Every structure is written in C-alpha cells, then in structure tokens.
Structure 1
Amino acid sequence: MTNTDTTAFEHVDDVAEPAAPPVPEPRRRPKDPCGLVFVALSLLFGCAFALITPPLWGFDETTHFSRAYAVDHGRILPQLVPGSEVVYGGPIPETVAELSHFAANGFNNVPAFPEHGVAHPEAYAELLAQPLNAPLVDVGFVNTSSYSPVAYVPSALALRAVEVVDGSVGLALTLMRLADVLAFTGVVWLALRALRGLRFRWVVFVVALMPMTVFVAGMITADALTNALSLLFGALFVKAVLLAKRLSRWETALLFAAAILLPLAKPTYVLLVLLLPLVPGSRMAARRWAGIAATAAGVTGFGIWTALSARTSEGMHTMRPNEVIDPGLQVQYLLTHLTDVPGLLARTFAAQEQGIVTGFFGVFGSSFVLAPATAGLATLAAGALAFGITDRMRATRAQWITSAGVVLVSAAALFGTLYLEFSPVGQYQIEGVQGRYFLPLVVIAVAVLARVIPLRLEIPRARLLRGAEVAIVVLVFYALLSSAFKYEFLL
C-alpha cells in the first residue's frame, strides 16, 4: 500500500485561481450605409426627374415607348410599317401618337427665357387623360426597332399593368418611367452590395448618381437598364480582377447574367463582355470555363440579334430625309479617304468636345436644359474624393492593359457606329455623339486609372474616412438637387 503525502495539498482552497481570459464580444459587422443612401437618392431624384419631365420629352422617348409597346404586344422582331420597304415600326394607340405630335411641336419650339418651356400645360393634361386602349395607328421607330426586348422588360411590364386596369395615357407614361427607375435602382444596389467593405463602391456610387445617369433612369428608354447592367458588370469585374477579390456564388451568377444581357440590352457595349475571361477561376464560385461559356453566350446572343435586326439600318436615312445615310457607302468613302481619318476625328473633337463633356454631366431631355455648372463641379469633386480614397488596384500589367484597350476600343466603336449609321456619307465630322453614351464605360475606366495612378489620400483615422464619405454624399446630393431645381424652374 502506497503512503500518500498530502502536505502539498493543504490550504489549496485559499489559493486564488487564475482569472479566465475575458471572452471577446462578437464584433458587429461595421454598417455600410452606401447602398441605402444610394437607394434613397436614386428613388428620390429618379422619380423627381420622371415627374418633372413633360410627357415624351425624354431622349427619343416616343420611339422608345413605341418599341416597348411592341414588346408588350409580342412583336419581338423588327417589323416593316405596312406600305413601306425600309421603315420599321408598328402600331401604337392613336391617343399616344396625338400626344407625341403635340409634344414634338412643344420641345421643338421652346419659348425663350424667362418664359416657361412648357407653353400649354393644360393641353398636356387633356391629352394625358385620354385612354390608352384606343384605336391603333402605324408609326415608324426605326432607331429603336433594332433593340432587343431585354432593355424594355421593366417598361413593358408597367405598360401591361396599365392596360389591364384600362388606364390612361398619362398613367402609362408615368408608371413606365417609374418602372425604369426601380429597375435601375435595384440592379445598381446589387452592384454596391457586392462591393461592401471596399472603398471602390464610392466610385460606383458617384457614377450611378450623376445627374445625367439619374435623369436617364427616369425616362422610358433602353439606356436605363443598359446603364444599370454596365455598372453591375463593371463593379463585379473590377472586384474580381483589379481588386483581386473572390466573388461569392450570387456575385458570380450576377456577373454571368450581366455579361449575357448587356450585349442584348444595347449591342454597342458588347466588347465589354470580352473582359470576362480575364477573371481567374480562383476568384469565381465556378469553373473558369463557365465564365468563358457566359462570354460566348453573350457574344452569340449579340450576333443572333444583330443578324435578325440588321435590315433596320436600311431605314435610318428616313430620320434625315435630306441627307444620304448609307453604311455601305460610308465604308467605301472611308476606305478611299483613309488619310482623312485623323482630320475627321480632330474636326469632331474641335466642334463637339464641349457639348459631349457637358452632356456627360447633364443635358436633360429634348428641351436640352443643361445641368448647372456647379452641379458638374460638385460631381467632379465627389469623383475626385472617391478616386482618392479608393482601394489599391492589384491587377497584373496584362490585365489592366487589356481592360484599358477594351474601354478605348468600345469608345471608338461608339464614334464608328454613329459615323456609319447616323452621319451623312462623307460628312466632315461624326454626328450624333452624346456624352451619356460613355457612362457604361466609366467604372472600368476609373479602375484602370486607379491602377496606373497609385496616388491615394492618406486617411489615418476611420472618423476622417467617414468624413470623406459624407462629403461625397453631400456633393452628389447638391448636384442632383440643383439640377432638378433648375430643370423644374425652366420648365
């Protein structure tokens, strides 16, 4: 039997036990109000522009309405107007056609300031009160007949709802505009949600809330959803490639969906989709071949729809009846005057640079009311702050050079398309270029610049960073508020 010595255990109860390490409280994920602030401002000012703008005074809004009406009634493919061999269009309610003629006369004859831009508001009220379900009349809308139905889904759904309740023309136009606002806001919110925790979200925030972007979102137009899809694609591409962050399953699915839908919403931006294969498989919740397949699907959809709608370009000359508009002849002219191409670009820049830049920040509707100059300055200041605090870009040289090349070629394609399909043969400059056409390219372009220019604002404290973010919100809010005020004041 073993004799155990218990001396060592005497008074053990008097010895204090070492204190257990404190259990750290679970850290709450820092709140990121960027997305909610965006939703509030987008809905507020998108709806404001939708309600301020006189009926059918948006950019080509009558032809966009006509295309949405065709989509709503199952006329997906472009159709010739009966009795014409080149004019594509279709039937719309005669009440809308009557309003369209009245609106065109109004915005083509805007009274000089200080008279209000809308000369006969009471006449608009009478025309808007007419029923939407009215006898149909054939009209041409050759410039929008070539668009696929993708970009018109929100406005077509709103139009269908009005037809079901036998609503008025005014109700249809208002709900179609608001549907575009909701669609734009929802899609861009997804982009900002994907960028939570990344400072680059403020770049997307500023671009999405430029006065021009928000105004377009509040109109009946294919550009509302097109801009939203391009912002979504750009945000996710930048996150995966230039910021070297892994995409979740839902973010990967959104990236693929945007790559497929964007070329259908507006074929001009198909080249952006070619950036998708740059995303490494390790940064997607899918195999790399799935990204290549999504790219192929987007390009194939673009090719099929382009083939189906190719003949609509034959009717583009009807928009300028006194000019010769022929893409084939324009190509022949260019091939025989290659040495004049630099001069063509120089003349276009010299004659239109100011208008293009102004239109990038804000030119509102067919009344061509310019956004206040201070709104442009506020937008630039907000953009500079967003650029200054954004994350360090981690793209390889090949990745950012390829991205920059695609953006530049896409911009060149915009000029080329307008020269071939809108400018008269042999014209000394490219006509029809508008600053808002470049909005879908901005997010990726800024990210490339941030990779090339590594200069950043040094903000040592979180409170100072929050102050910079608040300043961005205030500047954006001022730009939108001053633009909406001036627009309402002049109309």
Structure 2
Amino acid sequence: MNPPLWGSDEFAHFGRAYAIDHGQIVPREMPDPNGTNFGGEIPTTVNALREYAAEAVATLPEPPEPRVADPGAYAELAAQPLQAPHIEMGFVNTSSYSPIAYLPSVLGLRAAELVGASVGAALATMRLCTLIASTSLVWLGLRALSEHRFKWAVLVVALLPMTVFQASMITADAVTNALALLFSCLFAKAAFLRARLSTWESWTLCATAVALPLAKPTYVILALLLAITPAAQLSLRTPVKYLATVVGAAAFLAWTAVSAKTSAGMHLMRPGVHVSQDDQLQLVLADPIRFVGVLVNTFVQLEPDIVTGMFGTLGNTAVPIPATAVAMCLVAAVVAVGFSEPACADRPRLLVTSAGLVLSVAAIFGALYLEWTAVGHFTIDGVQGRYFLPLAVLALAVYAQLVPLRWQAAPPRSSAVPEKVVVVMVTTALALAALKYWYVLWG
C-alpha cells in the first residue's frame, strides 16, 4: 500500500541500516560544504528511487487527484538491481541510532543481497522482517498477560493505526515501540497487577531494559523502572535486576558518548534555520519564563496535530486517519481499561512510574527543542504524536489505578461483550485508516 521510501524518514532509516549491514556501526562523519554531516554509502539505484520519491512528495497533485501520480515510475525504479555502484549520502538524523533497532532490517537486507534482489524486493523484505520482529515482541508481551484482562488495553495500543504503520516500515521506531511495549507489559504485570513473572518473563524484562535505551536513548528513563520492579514478583535473584539496570544505563551512556557528535549536523535537516544546542540552552537559562511560554504555545498551537499523530498520521505526506477511527480507538481504550482488573501498585511505585512517564515526555520535548527547533522560535518544532507510543501502555496502567472506572467481579461470560467491543473497534479503526490512506494515495 505504501510506495517505497514513503514511510516516515524511511530513506534515512534505510541508509543507517545499509551502513550497519556494511560494517559501519558508529556514526561516520562525511564532508559537506554546508557543515558537519554524517552518513555513508548507498547504492545509486536506491538513490535514484529516493530522488524520485522526494520530488513526488514535494510536488503532490492537487486533490482529488491521487498523491501517487505515476505508479509505473516507481515500479520501474524499484525493478533496478540493488547491487550497484555506491554514492555518498547524508542521513544525520538516523546516524545516532545504535544497531539494536535495525537488526531485523539488516537481516532482511542481507538476505536480499545474497539472492541478488532488486531494490523494490530488498525494501519489501526489510519491511517484512521489521514487521515480523515487531509483531513477535508484541506477542510476547500479550502472552505474558494472557491470564489478565489488562491485555486488552495493550492490544489497543498495539493495533493503533500509527503503531501498525510504523511496524511495517523500515524504521528504528518499529523495534523501539515493540521493545517498550514488551517491557511495559512485563513491568505492569509485576508492579501493577502484582503477578509473579515466570523465569523467561523475568529474564526478558531485564533484557528489554538493556536493549531499550540502546534502541532509542530518549526512553532510558522508562528502562530504569526495572530497578523498582518488586523483587518478590521476579523469578531470579534480586541483584540481577540491579545489574541489568546498571548495564542498560552504562550502555546508554557509552552509546551517547559515541553518537553525541551527530548533533552538530542536525542543522542540515533545517536549511535556512538557525539550529544550535548551545544557543538554545543559553536562551532558556537567560529567560526561563519565556521558555514556559514556549511550552504553552506548543500545546495551544500544535496539540491537535500531536494527538492526531499518536493515533495515525501516515507516511511522508502526513495523511491523518479518519476522525471516526480516532474516536473508535478512544472508545476501545476506555472499554479495555474499564473492564481490566484493578491495578494495585503500591504508592511509591505508582509515584515513581508516573514521574518516569512525565520525565520521558519532558525528555522528548527537550531533545526536540535543543536539536530541532530554531533558536528563539515560539513553539517546539518536530513534536510528533508517534514519539509517545512507547509510553502508552504504562500510562494506561497508571490511569487504570488512578481512575476507578471498572466493571467489578466480571466472570468470563460477562467479559465477552467488552472484549468484542474492543476487537470490533480497533479492527474497524484500522480498516478505515487503511481505506483512507489507500484512497488518498492511489485513488
């Protein structure tokens, strides 16, 4: 359904995956007449497809014409061989990502290279491998909650149109979202549902706490919640969870030290705009009251787009899903949380988890303000709703405890109705989103 390289920053993510596949693990600085840049080599055939896709997105036909003006051109370019001479290309916005989040894409790319696949086949294989990996991680989380009704709330998050779209593209966000969801399922089971984790669940919780900060450093605060997981609910020795927390934090610090230099090139993503971490930080410190106004303006001006983006703003052309689909997702979430079992985290863990969520949101806004927003601008630029998907499951767990919306003592038969409501709502929302996206792109 999605044309090649029409996913969110999909070319940049392909470039990073291709670099990793060819042994370029750490960010590589490359010469650029406009300043510091980071990137690597990609096949000229992929670059030709990128150039065409970028031009097509920049010159979209006027509605009601389909946004994909010439499907035949994509088919012709996608049929070119992947094995081709290389060209230097910058992808500074993804160069800072560690290889963890790209492992499925790299495996798909390597398989395509081994069989001499075309560009289109390689991209499709990478997307498929990413989807399989993400779905597998989500399935593990749902399996861990198979005896708990809270799994329906998790299912709503997992099947949001934005979550599904990201999972089926070449992007680090797919694995990041899945890792965060898996970690949240296991942490919520132990801390909020007071259920004992099996041996494999306990070790998986520790493993995801190590991998998540490497997949996307912004979510390191989420992974640190491993330290407050009730020891009585883990099927391993208590020191192991602390060791995993330390290893995850150390890995985060080590990779941050390696990748921090890429921030110097982020201005290339915003030509004609002055972007500087140092200048922005000095402005905040010099006038904190003004920064509060920036936060207020961001909420007032951008809140509708951010909220819509969490449910689904699809592709490089930012096609919003139907408002009906958003409403159905909200109904499904309310019903799912409403008939889940009461959450019963103790007060300290509830407070720490809530604080962790707030700090994670602050980290997202802070990173975008320093690295992406023009110095002195009145809003924080680049805030997209999909960035908050990894926090959604734990946010629902906290909500389930703080807001007593509950159908109490529901026997299995009485729970069938809300379960059906959830399934019908999320599947219908997905179908509506897919139909609209297909119609807008292809007509």
TM-score range, shorter chain: over 0.9
Aligned equivalents of 2:321 and 2:32: distance in 1?
43
Aligned equivalents of 1:220 and 1:455: distance in 2?
38
Residue of 336, 350, 353 corresponding to 1:386: 336
Aligned equivalents of 1:75 and 1:83: distance in 2?
19
With over 3 angstroms needed to count, the CA separation of the structure-2 counterparts of 1:113 and 1:459, relative to structure 1, is: farther
The 5-angstrom pairing of residues 219-230 of structure 1 reads 219-230=169-180
Q: Read off the aligned partner of 2:72 and give its amino acid letter.
A: E
The 5-angstrom pairing of residues 280-299 of structure 1 reads 280-299=230-249
CA shift, 1:422, in A, is 0.2
2:226/2:241 contact within 8 Å kept: yes
Q: Which residue does the alignment assign to 2:135?
A: 185
Q: Which residue does the alignment assign to 2:68?
A: 118
Do residues 266 (structure 1) and 216 (structure 2) align? Answer: yes
Structure 2 SS opposite 1:92: strand
2:365/2:380 contact within 8 Å kept: yes
Q: Which residue does the alignment assign to 2:304?
A: 354
Do residues 159 (structure 1) and 109 (structure 2) align? Answer: yes
Do residues 130 (structure 1) and 114 (structure 2) align? Answer: no
CA shift, 1:477, in A, is 0.6
Structure 1 SS opposite 2:190: helix
Aligned equivalents of 1:164 and 1:82: distance in 2?
31
Q: Which residue does the alignment assign to 1:403?
A: 353
Residue of 186, 191, 210 corresponding to 1:236: 186
Q: Read off the aligned partner of 1:330 and give its amino acid letter.
A: Q
Do residues 468 (structure 1) and 418 (structure 2) align? Answer: yes
Q: Which residue does the alignment assign to 2:23?
A: 74
Aligned equivalents of 1:305 and 1:484: distance in 2?
37
Q: Which residue does the alignment assign to 1:310?
A: 260
- Backbone CA RMSD of aligned residues: 1.0
Aligned equivalents of 2:423 and 2:432: distance in 1?
14
Q: Read off the aligned partner of 2:17 and give its amino acid letter.
A: A
1:191/1:231 contact within 8 Å kept: yes
Do residues 105 (structure 1) and 30 (structure 2) align? Answer: no
CA shift, 1:461, in A, is 4.2
Q: Which residue does the alignment assign to 1:94?
A: 44
2:93/2:266 contact within 8 Å kept: yes
Of structures 1 and 2, the larger Rg is shown by 1
Do residues 62 (structure 1) and 35 (structure 2) align? Answer: no
Percent identical among aligned pairs is: 50
Aligned equivalents of 1:182 and 1:311: distance in 2?
33
User: CA deviation digits over 1:437-486, x for unaligned, max 9?
Assistant: 00000111111111111230246442221121111111111001111111
Q: Read off the aligned partner of 1:419 and give its amino acid letter.
A: Y
CA shift, 1:274, in A, is 1.4
Q: Read off the aligned partner of 1:81 and give its amino acid letter.
A: M
With over 3 angstroms needed to count, the CA separation of the structure-2 counterparts of 1:332 and 1:162, relative to structure 1, is: same
Aligned residues: 440
Q: Read off the aligned partner of 2:196 and give its amino acid letter.
A: R
1:459/1:465 contact within 8 Å kept: no
Q: TM-score, normalised by structure 1?
A: 0.88
Do residues 371 (structure 1) and 340 (structure 2) align? Answer: no
Q: Read off the aligned partner of 2:202 and give its amino acid letter.
A: T
1:132/1:163 contact within 8 Å kept: yes
1:152/1:221 contact within 8 Å kept: yes
User: CA deviation digits over 1:244-279, x for unaligned, max 9?
Assistant: 111110000110110000000011100011111111
CA shift, 1:344, in A, is 0.8
Aligned equivalents of 2:269 and 2:63: distance in 1?
29
Q: Which residue does the alignment assign to 1:454?
A: 404
Aligned equivalents of 2:68 and 2:239: distance in 1?
55
Q: Read off the aligned partner of 2:79 and give its amino acid letter.
A: A
1:280/1:288 contact within 8 Å kept: no
Structure 1 SS opposite 2:88: strand
1:263/1:302 contact within 8 Å kept: yes
Aligned equivalents of 2:388 and 2:213: distance in 1?
15
CA shift, 1:72, in A, is 0.6
Structure 2 SS opposite 1:402: helix
Aligned equivalents of 2:366 and 2:299: distance in 1?
14
CA shift, 1:367, in A, is 1.5
Q: Read off the aligned partner of 1:482 and give its amino acid letter.
A: L
Structure 2 SS opposite 1:462: coil
Q: Read off the aligned partner of 1:295 and give its amino acid letter.
A: T
Aligned equivalents of 2:7 and 2:436: distance in 1?
16
User: Moved runs in structure 1, 4+ residues, more than 6 A?
Assistant: none
Structure 1 unaligned regions, length at least 5: 1-51
CA shift, 1:180, in A, is 0.9
Residue of 285, 299, 308 corresponding to 1:335: 285
CA shift, 1:213, in A, is 0.4
Q: Read off the aligned partner of 1:356 and give its amino acid letter.
A: I
Q: Which residue does the alignment assign to 1:39?
A: none
Aligned equivalents of 2:20 and 2:56: distance in 1?
28
Aligned equivalents of 1:325 and 1:460: distance in 2?
55
Q: Which residue does the alignment assign to 2:120?
A: 170
